[in-house]
Structure 1
Amino acid sequence: MTGYDALAEVYEWLISDAKLAPAEFAASFDDVLSLLPSNAHVLDCSCGTGQLAVGLAGLGIQVVATDASETMVRRTAELSEEFGASVRTVRADWEELPDHFDDVTFDMVFCVGNSLHHAVGARGRVAALESMSRLLRRGGHLVLTSRTWELVRAKGSRLDVSDRLVRRNGRDAVVVYRWDIAPNWEEEHHIEIAVAQVDAAGSVLVRSELLSCWPYRYDELEVELHRVGLRMEMSTFNPEAENYMVVASKV
């Protein structure tokens, strides 16, 4: 599992304006949140810097936030304190989740932010999904977002430089993605992400990280969800769209 420790300190430059505010990020999931019972327990198992977890806690939901990166977990805890939100934070990767929580603990598990591709190959991905499934109560839901890797691979290796400055915390930055697309689906791919911050004097501070990933096809994800006891209930998959969301229920 990839660390994200270098990018964690500048991760807000990678979050869209619409999802930067915790309340707005949580509101983007209003449709699936309507599936929750009262007094729901929710796990955000790829919490990043905590915008979703804090937004959910602001709705009165009992939230636990986990991430494989210690720095991401720290930043989530800091954001929770800033907003006065009650969020329990735990450093854990997907396969470690059953070591921290009992089976059938949660009514909903979120795995968002295009994170599942960091699981190592099909075996690692199924293991991650199995851990999430174990923690769901019967009838509970997994909410997962993903890049459309069919499109990513079709574009090949490339350099993507943002066409505008992104302003966060009074500072501007240019975001650059370098995609290293392997010849075959099952091989390790790489994404290098750089955030180049520019201050008022024109000085540039660059933080970057090389991330490993193992892409998957949408139909593979469908099969793997079924394999771990989850039934696909909703999907926004469109082969021409860059991202999609699936909602699967625990059988």
Structure 2
Amino acid sequence: MTSYNELAEVYEWLISDAKLTPAEFAASFDDVISLLPSNARVLDCSCGTGQLAVGLAGRGMQVAATDASEAMVRRTAELAEEFGAPVRAERANWEELPDHFDDETFDMVFCVGNSLHHAEGARGRDAALESMSRLLRPGGRLVLTSRNWELVRSRGSRLDISDHLVRRNGRDAVVIYRWDIASQWEEEHHIEIAIAQVDAAGPVLVRSELLSCWPYRHDELTAELHQAGLRTERSTYNPEAENYTVVASKA
């Protein structure tokens, strides 16, 4: 079962150097943040360890952050406290969002960090997108980032071991991905992510987690957004690129 409770404690090794601080993470979305009104209400859904949520709050926005992992929510709350950022952090999966917030509450909902593929198949994605759409005011936008699953599946099952050390908090680590690619698109796939912390004066400390995922094609995502009442305004999808961003507005 996907939980991120193990990886939550070492998640910073999975964040790129360019997005490591809250301000840097928020700045990576400057093109869509510029579309927001002053004092906008924003939800960071699948918030991870809170870099984006805290970065948005630092710009004066009213920010809520949710994640299905209790450990991620805890780390988000800790980061918000460290930066003195007023972030409302709560544990909730996508289907539970309408239980926590009124309909048409937010100007923008972020679902970033390649998280949507953890929704269980087409039915799960539909439920997730419908929940997020309900929370957007008319004209509000969903900002979603995704892996290029067409590219991922074309490479098949494999082991990817980073060719360099990543330094965080004065320690180095190697990041390892093990991809278990099912034969059919609609079947459950798995990604095992391992963080092997290297210390010259001590043993290697390894944390790993096996994550379930259900991939989708770019055109499927576009159709599912439309079904949830969201119109795609822009997409950076490129068949040769590893990741892409979709911005969709609520009619």
- TM tier, shorter chain? over 0.9
Q: Is 1:115 the equivalent of 2:115?
A: yes
Residue 89 of structure 2: aligned partner: 89
Aligned partner letter, 1:151: L
Could you give the per-residue CA deviations for residues 97-147 of structure 1, whole angstroms, max 9, x where no partner exists? Answer: 000000000000000000000000000001000000000000000000000
Aligned partner letter, 1:215: P
Residue 63 of structure 2: aligned partner: 63
Query: How far off is 1:157 after superposition?
Result: 0.2
Counterpart CA distance in 2 for 1:79 and 1:162 is: 27
Q: Quick one: percent identity of the two aligned structures?
A: 84
Query: How far off is 1:84 after superposition?
Result: 1.1
Counterpart CA distance in 2 for 1:100 and 1:25 is: 25
Could you give the per-residue CA deviations for residues 1-37 of structure 1, whole angstroms, max 9, x where no partner exists? Answer: 7210010000000110011111011001111011111
Gaps of 5+ in 1: none
Residue 191 of structure 2: aligned partner: 191
Q: Secondary structure of the equivalent of 1:89?
A: strand
Q: Secondary structure of the equivalent of 1:2?
A: coil
TM-score, normalising length from structure 1?
0.99
The 8 Å contact of residues 2 and 210 in structure 2, kept in 1 or not, is answered as: no
Residue 225 of structure 1: aligned partner: 225
RMSD (CA atoms): 0.7
Residue 140 of structure 1: aligned partner: 140
Residue 173 of structure 2: aligned partner: 173
Query: How far off is 1:203 after superposition?
Result: 1.3
Counterpart CA distance in 1 for 2:178 and 2:107 is: 37
Counterpart CA distance in 2 for 1:210 and 1:232 is: 32
Aligned partner letter, 1:176: I
Residue 99 of structure 1: aligned partner: 99
Q: Is 1:150 the equivalent of 2:139?
A: no
Could you give the per-residue CA deviations for residues 146-173 of structure 1, whole angstroms, max 9, x where no partner exists? Answer: 0000000000000000000111001111
Counterpart CA distance in 2 for 1:39 and 1:114 is: 27
Query: How far off is 1:199 after superposition?
Result: 1.6
Counterpart CA distance in 2 for 1:137 and 1:239 is: 32
Could you give the per-residue CA deviations for residues 64-101 of structure 1, whole angstroms, max 9, x where no partner exists? Answer: 00000000000000001111111010100000000000
Counterpart CA distance in 1 for 2:145 and 2:197 is: 28
Aligned partner letter, 2:193: I
